[in-house]
Structure 1
Amino acid sequence: MSSTAETAAPNSGGGGQPRSRHGWRIVAALAVTQTIGYGVLYYAFSVFLTPMAADLHASTTQIAAALTLSILIAALCAPLAGRWLDAHGGRGLMSAGSILGTVAVLAWSRVDSLLQLYAVFAVIGIACAMVLYESAFAVIVSWFDGNARGRANALLALTVVAGFASSIFLPLTGLLVDRYGWRQALVILALIYGVAAIPLHAFVLRRRIHAEREPVTAEARAQIVKAATRRRPFWLLVIAFTANGGAVSVMAVLLITYLIHLGHSPVLAATLAGLLGVLSVTGRLVTTGLQARLPAALIAAAIFAVQGGAVLLLPLVGRTVPGAIGCVLGFGLGFGIASITLPHLLVGRYGTAAYASLSGRIAAFSVADKALAPLGAVALAQAVGYGWVMGAVAVACTSAAFALLSYHRL
């Protein structure tokens, strides 16, 4: 799609109000599409796991491998999506991605074998790379270019709303499966996603055109990416957000199991794990508020260090209810801050011209780690015990903190 096709809302003679209002319409539209997108394309899968395994005569491990495949495909596609977003904006890519996602979920409802399931989830992975957070963040960063406070508030609003995706879609999916069966439930979810996401992406998203600036050429953008990836700061960001992303993914998957292993009841373990979603909102609010006063890298480094300390203490004090609560609270404060910190750091050092390309390159590492780290953690737990897993998570969080400290000093 050409740059002229994705123009901003016209400005008025009285200033920038129409443009500002349309920017927040974009944020509202993306908050809706991200909430439904994550709910349908990611979180709902766990509800379908058992009925699909029974219907397809497969083990839950074989079924779960489909989601891992989807995440890995999304990681592989992230750099390509990033380059497209920098060159053409988000409307075309996200509109096509929402159509692809809708069709893929409908196809998911018709699978009769593992091979078909894996093929469908490969397509869902491509759709996820086109429509989920990395693409939405790129649209917001581009629109709020030159308005750091507006950008921070927009990213916060988006992630706070989308943070409720699991809270909405896990029970909704459970109700649909219980009433209609898993195949019909998928048809309903596909229609919900398509009816909401396709028109919102197609008719609300716009690309802001900066009349006072010369358009950035593909060659200039490539030079920004080439220069960034040849220097240490970029790779420190890769290390920090890949390590922390893997740690968060492991805890999201294994926390309930480990709390039960420590002697807590399944109900208490699930309740404590449920705090992570609430705490992710708290962490994002705290981080955004502090960014006006402190460097973002230092804020994230401090929170990652707290996460590492909390996980390290969990095997020692987590057998008591107060100890378990304290450790979950400490880790949960950092559960969602990476998503709003990385855009801030990338724009602060490299500007917005190649933001999506650089973000996509980091996502290729961090998203892949989120898919693979839980598998490695389960294997480690089976081999040497959960205590070593918690130690590995603590090392990952601490490594992320030190990487951001080094980044800040450069």
Structure 2
Amino acid sequence: MSEESGPGHPGYRATVSALALGQLLCWAALYYTFSTFVLPMQQALGWDKPTLMGAFTLGLAMWGAGSYAAGAAIDAGRGRALMTAGAALAGLGLLLWSQVSAPWMLYAVWALLGAAMAMTLYEPAFNVLTKRYPLRYREGITTLTLVGGFASTLCFPAVAALQAAFGWRGALAVIGAVLLLAIAPLHWWALGGPAIVAAPASHDEADDATLHEALHEPAFWLLAICFTLHSFVQAALWAHVMPAFAAKGVPEGQALQVLVTVGPAQVAGRLLYVWLGRGWSLRVIGAVVMACLPAAMTLFALSRSLYALLAFAVLFGMANGLVTIVRGGLVPEYFGRTHVGRIGGAMSGIGLLARAAAPLSMAWLLLVVPGYREALLGLALMGVLATLAFWRARPPVASAPR
């Protein structure tokens, strides 16, 4: 059998293309737009920054808390309904956000948007592709991350143009309408009908680990520790990156020059994987990717020259770009595809909760260390521990035929 859907339903390429467009717009709307609305909301509503940041933190926490339930729904065959409802909920949440007038309303909105994140951003799409197209899911995951990598590039100029034309409330309403009226129907269409797949002849679903069995494997916990530390370091850095540059005495113009390098480096890392890395073991690729993180953080902690900081941006961007591919491919490779939603959701949920806690934890750390240099070296140490945990996470013996 071919890896195409039945008559009247989209095939592999159409499904991947539609999901990639959905990832691009959902990431832009749900993850990157928040910072662009902070100043307009402060000016219009008079709320302080901690109040606003608390709403986003709640959203990130809800994202982590909802990941397992989203994965379980996909394992139960409800991926189409989940991703469609997630895009619709995201659109509704943005429309409600455009009408907030009190902090409790913003927090209620971000609780909804956090649930929408768990239903749409990367992990659900990875799991749906893994279950529908077992021979080509790695290729599909790579495509989704390549397209999704441009979300930040799209977000900032698009939101600036919308705010200039419609104000911040109108901009939110337009973005919400796009998700509700375009992306939700696109998800419904892309995942229509049962996929007819050619599963490997040697694959037996009975060999695949359940979540209960995975939780008893050292590999699960080592990978969970690895990806949790990676998420923590990434989130802590992004939350404090501009104050860290200021503490170094780096001019704002140079700091922005460094930061805009991260996005292209992220996409470049994924393209490099497409061109050169597909024949490599994900475990080898992952070890290299993980080692880039502590190297990048050490460079950032100890350097002030522009060239060294640009090297940091390249290493950090490539690590962030490729870790998503590694995580998405390694879970089914180690534990099988049958329960990939629950296993991947549980693993990513732990990391997402750490991401939500990272900005505040970094602030607390700065109260007990001399300054940003020492705090960043602490993040580098976390990166070393993540690398060691990844390398010790050997595939379970039963995963070999998968």
Under a length normalisation based on structure 1, what TM-score does the superposition of the two structures give? Answer: 0.89
Cα pair distance change 1:131/1:327, threshold 3 Å: closer
Q: Structure 1 CA distance, aligned partners of 2:207 and 2:154?
A: 39
Q: Secondary structure at the match of 1:408?
A: coil
Q: Write the deviation string for residues 64-101 of structure 1: whole angstroms up to 9, x where unpaired.
A: 11111011011111101100001114211111111111
CA–CA distance in 1 between the matches of 2:176 and 2:389? 41
1:259-408 correspondence runs (5 A): 259-289=245-275, 291-316=277-302, 318-384=303-369, 385-408=371-394
* Structure 1 contact 240–401 (Cα < 8 Å) conserved: yes
- Structure 1, unmatched stretches of 5+, are 1-6, 12-17
Distance (Å, rounded) in 2 between the aligned partners of 1:228 and 1:33: 30
Unmatched 5+ stretches in structure 2? 397-402
Measure how far apart 1:322 and its partner are: 1.8
> CA shift at 1:287, angstroms?
3.8
Range with bigger deviation, 58-67 or 151-160: 151-160
Do residues 208 (structure 1) and 186 (structure 2) align?
no
Q: Distance in 1 between matches of 2:296 and 2:31?
A: 27
User: Which residue of 2 is the match for residue 254 of structure 1?
Assistant: 240
Residue 210 of structure 1: CA displacement? Answer: 5.0
Contact 2:219 2:395 in 1 (8 A): no
Choose from 178, 187, 191 the match for 2:164: 178
The percent of aligned pairs where both chains have the same amino acid is 28
2:133 is equivalent to residue 151 of structure 1: no
Distance 1:106 1:331 in 2: 34
8 Å contact 1:380–1:389 — kept in the other structure? yes
Q: Which amino acid aligns with 2:35?
A: S
Letter in 1 for 2:74: L
2:15 maps to 1:30: no
* C-alpha RMSD over aligned residues: 2.6
**Which residue does the alignment assign to 1:127?**
116
Equivalent of 2:219, from 233, 254, 261? 233
Partner deviation per Cα, 1:154-206 (whole Å, 9 max, x = no partner): 11111111111111111111222223211111111111222221111111214
In structure 2, what is the Cα distance between the partners aligned to 1:221 and 1:210?
Answer: 19
Partners of 2:6 and 2:195 within 8 A in 1: no
- Counterparts of 2:198 and 2:18, CA distance in 1: 25
TM-score for both structures, normalised by structure 2: 0.90
Q: CA deviation at 1:211?
A: 8.3
Question: Which of these residues, 27, 32, 44, is aligned with residue 33 of structure 2?
Answer: 44
**Residue 290 of structure 2 contacts residue 386 of structure 2 at CA under 8 Å; is this kept in 1?**
yes
2:228 is aligned, of 242, 245, 259, to: 242
Which residue identity is paired with 2:379? V
Aligned match of 1:193 in 169, 175, 179?
179
Structure 1 residues 375-384 or 389-398, which shifts more?
A: 375-384
**Residue type at the aligned position of 1:10:** G
- 3-state SS of 2:296 partner: helix
Would you say 1:83 and 2:72 are equivalent positions? yes
Matched letter for residue 350 of structure 2 = F
Q: 1:382 to 1:111 in 2, by over 3 A?
A: same
Aligned length: 391
